[in-house]
Chains A and B, each alone.
Chain A
Amino acid sequence: QVQLQESGPGLVKPSQTLSLTCTVSGGSITSSSYYWSWIRQPAGRGLEWIGRIHTSGYGSTNYNPSLQSRVTISADTSKNQLSLKLSSVTAADTAVYYCARVVDTPMETKFDPWGQGTLVTVSS
């Protein structure tokens, strides 16, 4: 059973870079049937898709245009980990950050499972 666990600093100063890791256990991140996404949720608010990475082949990425200039998603296949970097953060980037596996096969496409999420606060 695949499990995802986000980790990283809980507090980041304004203008700095937020860096998070998503560790995947119980399955490989390199399967061609999956890609991986990051999603965030400010406290008391809705969900925002940040971007995705397809770790097989060329490791293609796709980002939300609202964040594209500041975000980088990458993968370390040797550690079975995904990473998220968001630069020049402000208080508006304070949120719970989730990683999720996206099953993408001819039979089905779904975001499942999700990690438990990690809270990042941007404050000086």
Chain B
Amino acid sequence: EIVLTQSPGTLSLSPGERATLSCRASQSVSSTYLAWYQQKPGQAPRLLIYGASSRATGIPDRFSGSGSGTDFTLTISRLEPEDFAVYYCQQYGSSPYTFGQGTKLEIK
């Protein structure tokens, strides 16, 4: 099983700042099968990025994904108030598919 470790656990930033979230895999993941989700309280996860760097439909271009192999990054270039949420990475190239434990992005 591929273990995904996200860091930091909590990230405290202000609106307008840049956020950098990390996802490290215990073994190599094909970029095709790496996704990022945003989840707000009481809501289902919302797909942001798939294929490591492709934005999902309707996702603002301030969200970007990068990385390969075992190290992946989600960057939010300028934080908007609605971006404060929990973010998960997911790999779905190797069964069982797995998720990271999440990074909580909170307002500083």
Asked whether B99 lies within 8 Å of A112 as measured between CB atoms, the reply is no
Inter-subunit contact A112/B56 (CB<8 Å)? yes
Find out whether the CB atom of A46 lies under 8 angstroms from the CB atom of B100.
Answer: yes
Nearest neighbor of B88 in chain A, beta-carbon distance: A47
The 8 A CB mask of B50-88 against A (1 = contact, 0 = none) is 110010110000000000000000000000000000001
Q: Cβ of B7: which chain A residues have Cβ within 8 Å of it?
A: none
Residue contact A66 to B45, C-beta cutoff 8 Å: no
Q: How far is the CA of A79 from the CA of B45 in the complex (A)?
A: 26
> Nearest chain B CB to A13's CB is how many angstroms away?
26
- Asked if B90 is an interface residue, CB under 8 A from chain A, the answer is yes
Q: Which residues of A sit under 8 angstroms from B56, Cβ to Cβ? A: 110, 112
Provided the pairs A98-B44, A102-B92, A112-B56 are in contact, do residues A49 and B99 lie with their beta carbons within 8 angstroms? yes
- Chain A residues within 8 Å of B1, by CB: 65
The reply to whether A49 and B101 contact each other, CB–CB distance below 8 Å, is no
Find the B residue at minimum CB distance from A103.
B50
Whether A109 lies near B92 (C-beta < 8 A) is yes
Cα of A64 to Cα of B1 in the assembled complex, Å? 10
In the assembled complex, the Cα of A115 lies from the Cα of B46 at a distance in Å of: 10
Is B26 at the interface (CB under 8 A from chain A)?
no
List 20 contacting pairs A-B, 8 Å CB cutoff, sorted by A.
Answer: A46-B88, A46-B99, A47-B88, A49-B92, A49-B96, A49-B97, A64-B96, A65-B96, A66-B96, A98-B45, A102-B92, A110-B56, A111-B50, A112-B47, A112-B50, A112-B56, A113-B47, A114-B45, A116-B43, A117-B44
A-B contact sample (16 more), CB < 8 A, given A46-B100, A49-B98: A37-B97, A46-B88, A46-B101, A47-B88, A49-B92, A64-B97, A108-B51, A108-B54, A109-B50, A110-B51, A111-B35, A111-B47, A111-B50, A111-B90, A112-B50, A116-B44
